[in-house]
Amino acid sequence: MNALRAAGGVLTIVGTGLPWATFVLNGGPYPAKATLEFFTEPFGVVGYRLHLLVFGVLAVVFALVAVPGRDRILRALGVGVVAVSVVNGLWIAVEGGGLGAVTMSEGDVAFGAPVALAGGILILAARAAGEPVPQWRWRLGPWWERLVLLGVFVLLLILVSALLTSGGQSGAANGYAGAVFLSFLAAAGAGIGALHASGLLSWVGELSERHRGFGVGVLLLCALALPLTDAGTEYWMTVAANIGVYAATAIGLNIVVGLAGLLDLGYVAFLGIGAFVAANLSGAAASGIGIELPFPLVMVISAVVAGIFGAIVGSPTLRVRGDYLAIVTLAFGEIFVRAAQNDIGGLTGGSNAIPGVPPLSMFGQGFDDQLVVGEVRLPPGVLYYVLIVLVVAGAMLVFANLKDSRLGRAWIAIREDEDAARAMGVRTGPIKILAFLAGAVLAGLAGACFAHKTATVSYESFRFIESVTLLAAVILGGMGTVPGAVLGASILFVLPEKLREFSDYRLLLFGIALILIMRFRPQGLVSDAHRRAELAPDAEPATVVLPVVTAKVAP
């Protein structure tokens, strides 16, 4: 069996060097010019061929060397090889029409994709059903562990930058951006799967728990450093700012759904309330109030007003639950949209919306203007991105503290069994209202940022489909977890942007991706202990604890 896996790795390496197309693209036989690439060409092998080469070499090594978790690692590598081969092979077949034994004018034969695919299938011969996952217990000393965390987060920043910039800003720019993105996404997913199978990701997670303050600080700095990477363009700063707004909103929804277990189908209305309040209090041209307050005060008022409405909407939860609660919240969302559309009270602008919300400025620097720091020129809109990153960080801090508090434990008790929680003395009614209030406050803060970033607030931005998207972000990322909502919102907004090349098929591909994630990761991408226990497969093997390795650093 190991010889078969090694042969699969060798076939993958061979397929990397063979031609993959029978037509000329960008001045050379594909992929001799490595058209589908996102790296520069340091060693002559770039893009998806570099991914396949690395996976093939690793497959040969792990097939010949016995290490803990070897079968699971090989399975992840095999999945990556198959996925990368299929994505690029299908793109070539559809766009260029030339896979198989067809001779080009230079005499080359396009055997690359079939050979690499066969190699991936042989690597998948690894059977990992009963193999335990290794659990590392390395102790490297506090400063060395912090250094490891720093390196991991820097690599994560590089990965995110490469993911965003793979293929350009949009698929319409070069005709193959979607294939580049999907190929890189498949390779990154396989790499992360192999690291998880080796037990290293779990070890890094333990390091982050032991040094939580340091890890949060470095992660925040890495997020703020994103504009300094290749993704620091006006286009991606706008996309990232929008992701941040919805991520902060999704964190609030995670309190309601993930912690308290209350299904809210009209939650986006609180984002709209915060946005309309901010638009009316910020001196917008079409405002029905006509006053202009400082932005920090606007944020506070928006959060308070949204929280009041959250408490009002949460009041019916004293008597309804489950599907009936979902209908009540759905009705509230529809009432808000209709009221905003009809411009009740002259505060929403009706069909004309509220345009002309003035951009933010600080110390004479407009948030929409280009920022110059010494010799560094940052793209326009970067200050909005920084503001929203700080808002998201604050929302994550609030969520983490609430989850670990007595109130958070009461919410979790209500989610698991409301009757049992009431029998144990939990005042379920007021506590459920507090869940709606806390979630609405976070949505109101995000709405204030949303109003100034978009400069126009319209009821069309807060329809029912937006509530469904937020709910999908919470479930996809992992209910009840701090980074889950952020990761879910990022995926739900980055995937459609990167799949624009596929035009009418992009939503189909997007839906298929969500189905696959929920099929193979029902507990969410970042799950907590309760969700893992409930939704993990019954045959999930126990972990193997490896020997403790301790390294001390001399003072």
Write the pLDDT tens digit of every residue in 432-468. 999 999 999 999 999 999 998 888 888 888 988 888 8
Q: Which of 293-302, 314-323, 422-431, 442-451 has the lowest mean pLDDT?
A: 314-323
Question: How far is Cα 436 from Cα 481, in angstroms, rounded to an integer?
Answer: 17
Q: Which of 106-115, 272-281, 301-310, 427-436 has the lowest mean pLDDT?
A: 106-115
- pTM flag (> 0.75): yes
- Residues facing 457 on adjacent strands: 354
Output the average pLDDT for the chain. Answer: 79
Per the CB < 8 A criterion, the answer to whether 138 and 549 are in contact is yes
Report phi then psi at 378, rounded to 5.
-95, 150
pLDDT at res. 269: 92
Most confident of 146-150, 307-311, 495-499, 543-547: 307-311
Alpha helices in 65-141 (DSSP H): 70-95, 112-123
pLDDT of res. 474: 86
Q: Which band of pLDDT confidence, cut at 50, 70 and 90, is reported for residue 43?
A: very low
- Label residue 131 by pLDDT band (50, 70, 90): low
Average pLDDT over residues 66-94: 84
Predicted local distance difference test score (pLDDT) of residue 551: 47
Quote the tokens at residue 81. Answer: 């090889």
The single residue listed with the structure tokens 């009809």 is 342
**Are 269 and 336 spatial neighbours (Cβ–Cβ below 8 Å)?**
yes
Angstrom distance (rounded) from CA 81 to CA 120: 5
First to last CA, the chain: 49
SS (H, E, C) 352-368: HCECCCCCCEECCEECC
Task: Dump pLDDT digits (tens) for 328-356.
Answer: 889 999 999 998 888 877 788 888 888 88
The β-bridge relationship of strands 376-378 and 24-25 is: unpaired
> What per-residue confidence (pLDDT) applies to 227?
87
Q: Are 310 and 441 in contact (CB under 8 A)?
A: yes
Residue 214 is predicted with a pLDDT of: 86
Q: What is the pLDDT of residue 71?
A: 83
Rounded CA-CA distance 462/424 in Å is 39
Kindly state the percentage of the chain with pLDDT values over 70.
Answer: 81
User: Average pLDDT, stretch 517-527?
Assistant: 75
Is residue 69 within 8 Å of residue 198, measured between CB atoms?
Answer: yes
pLDDT tens string 243-264: 889 889 999 898 888 888 888 8
What pLDDT does residue 55 have?
Answer: 92
Please state, in angstroms and rounded to a whole number, the distance separating the CA atoms of residues 485 and 252. 9
